[in-house]
Amino acid sequence: MPDLTRRVGVPRLAGISYPLSRPLGRPHDPDGQRAVLRATLEVLEQATRPDHYVELPFVWPETAAQARNASKDEPPSPIAALLLKEPWLIPKLYSGHIPA
């Protein structure tokens, strides 16, 4: 999620359009993983100023629906389950007023 990572303020960022849970690529695809890591390391050498942002050209080999479907059996996170049950708490998340 380069959008979110960029807002955190990292010095250099390589964005990639890969699904959550597997940012380097598919399991047991060493060539693909190595290409992603190498392209990411090259950003380190190219950058000369903060907020340097590069979008890597790699394309995920499945549709978004297929990628999501691979994790359909994962239960919702505790916060997602809570907010589904008590949606009036959502503004706390938006506002950053996290209950202590």
Partner 1 sequence: MAIDSYKYVDFATRQIMKAWAARQEPGVIPFTPLAKPLRECTVALLSTAGIARNDDVPFDQEGERRDPWWGDPTFRKIPLGTTEKDIRIYHLHIDPKFGETDLDVVLPMRRLAELASQGVVGRPARMHYSTMGYILEPTELVEKTAPAIAASMRDESVDAVVLVPV
99 near partner 1, rule: CB under 8 A: yes
Provide CB contacts within 8 A for 47, sequence distance 6+.
Answer: 11, 12
Phi, psi of 61 (to 5 degrees): -80, 10
Give 77's DSSP letter: P
Neighbours of 16 (CB within 10 A): 19
Query: x/- string (CB under 8 A) for partner 1, residues 28-67?
Result: x-x--xx--xx-xxx-xx-xxxxx-x-x--------x--x
How many chain residues are in contact with partner 1, going by CB under 8 A? 62
Shortest separation between residue 33's beta carbon and partner 1, angstroms? 5
Q: Does 88 bind partner 1 (CB under 8 A)?
A: no
Question: Six-digit token pair at 67?
Answer: 């990628």
Helix (H) or strand (E) holding 8: helix 2-8
How many whole angstroms separate alpha carbon 3 and alpha carbon 42?
A: 20
Q: Shortest Cβ distance from residue 61 to partner 1 (Å)? A: 13
Q: What is the contact surface with partner 1 in residues (CB under 8 A)?
A: 1-11, 15-28, 30, 33-34, 37-38, 40-42, 44-45, 47-51, 53, 55, 64, 67-68, 70-71, 74, 77-83, 90, 93-96, 98-99
